[in-house]
Amino acid sequence: MKSEEPIAVARQLVAERFPDAIQAWLGGSVVNGGATLTSDLDVTILLDIAEVHRESLVFHGWPVELFVHDDRSIRYFVDKDLARRRPTMARLVATSLPLLPGNGGDELRAHCAEVLAAGPGPLAADALDSERYYLTDLLDDLRGGGSVAAATAVAVEVWQRTVELLLASSEHWTGGGKWLVRELEALDEARGADYTAQLQEALSQAVAGEVVALAKLAEHALRLVGGPLWSGFRMDALVPDSPASGV
């Protein structure tokens, strides 16, 4: 039972388990808004030298996601997340609440904030062509119909790839699950757009069998990045050498 205030619980957890921590940060919806009955505490620990790991536990009634790092590992994951355009590590540090006094980790936090603010940059040309191709191909499936289950699955994937393409066209971060929606909402706020609501309504219509609105939004996203792509698309495969047969 969550009977205690989350910040106090997080500080007690750090004090008991990581008394030598340089800094610790509390993130997630309990700090940034939008907390629900199932929200947990995202606690990132910065040690001088760490056995880097994540751990899930319950502490004083609160579910906790614990991320244990040192400076080097945080920078490593920030760079890795940049390559996949999902700023998980940078956000865990940059937008979280410091739990310990002093300026420990300030330089690292500033670095994470800079990465987060800069965005992921443009999507590589070959990756962009792949996204255009897959969405173009899915649009044919969307318009082609099929069983209710198959049509629903296609509509959901068209929705997802449309969102991802809209984000990529604006050099905006992407995400998975609820974070994909949050990134789209952030894009709406930054651009004065209304993609989130339009796409939600279009998806609802598509699941009910009316695909026109969702198809139009997907076509709009495609036009932002050069239009549909199908005929002429090519993707080369790199196949590793076969192991020696022993013959």
For residue range 60-116, what is the model confidence (pLDDT) as tens digits? Answer: 999 999 999 999 999 999 999 999 999 999 999 999 999 999 999 999 999 999 999
- pLDDT band for position 33 (cuts 50, 70, 90): confident
11 and 110 together in one domain: yes
> Which helix (H) or strand (E) covers residue 25, if one does?
strand 23-27
Q: Torsions phi, psi of 87, nearest 5?
A: -85, 50
> Who wins on pLDDT, 237 or 107?
107
Tell me whether residue 233 is in a domain.
no
Asked whether residue 49 is domain-assigned, the answer is yes
Question: Does residue 104 fall inside a structural domain?
Answer: yes
Is residue 231 one of the residues assigned to a domain?
no
DSSP tag of 178: H
Examine residue 244 and state whether it is found in any structural domain, yes or no: no
**Domain residues for 102?**
6-118
58, containing H or E segment: strand 53-59
Q: What is the model's pTM?
A: 0.87
Do residues 181 and 95 share a domain?
A: no
* Whether 217 and 152 share a structural domain: yes
**pLDDT band of 247, cuts 50, 70, 90:** very low
Whether residues 20 and 75 fall in one domain: yes
Domain match, 72 and 36 both: yes
For 93-125, give the DSSP string.
Answer: HHTSEE-SSSSTTHHHHHHHHHHHHH---PPPH
Q: Could you tell me if residue 232 is inside a domain?
A: no
**Rounded-to-integer distance, Cα 181 and Cα 246, Å:** 52
Q: Which amino acid is at 21?
A: A
pLDDT band for position 58 (cuts 50, 70, 90): very high
Same domain? 160 vs 131: yes
Q: Are 106 and 137 within one domain?
A: no
Number of domains in the chain: 2
* Residue 245 included in any domain: no
CA distance 205 to 240: 45
Residue 37: CATH number of its domain: 3.30.460.10
Domain boundary among 90, 118, 146: 118
Query: Which of 61, 83, 118 finishes a domain?
Result: 118
At 153-198, the pLDDT tens digits run 999 999 999 999 999 999 999 999 999 999 999 999 999 999 999 9
Tell me: do 130 and 148 sit in the same domain: yes
Gap between the Cα atoms of 95 and 31, Å rounded: 9
Whether residue 96 lies inside any domain: the answer is yes
Q: How many CB atoms lie within 10 A of CB 75?
A: 17
Q: In what order do the strands lie in the sheet with 23-27?
A: 53-59, 62-70, 41-47, 23-27, 97-98
Torsion (CA) 146, 152, 156, 162 in degrees, nearest 10: 40
Average pLDDT over residues 28-53: 86
What 3-state DSSP class applies to 1?
A: coil
Residue that is written with structure tokens 């991320």 in the block:
67
End-of-domain residue from the set 87, 118, 149: 118
Looking at the structure, tell me whether residues 98 and 153 fall in a common domain: no
Contacts of 167 (CB under 8 A, 6+ apart): 173, 174, 183, 184, 187
- Do 112 and 65 share a domain, yes or no? yes
Determine the pLDDT at residue 39: 80
Q: Are residues 144 and 208 in the same domain?
A: yes
Residues 114 and 149 grouped into a single domain: no
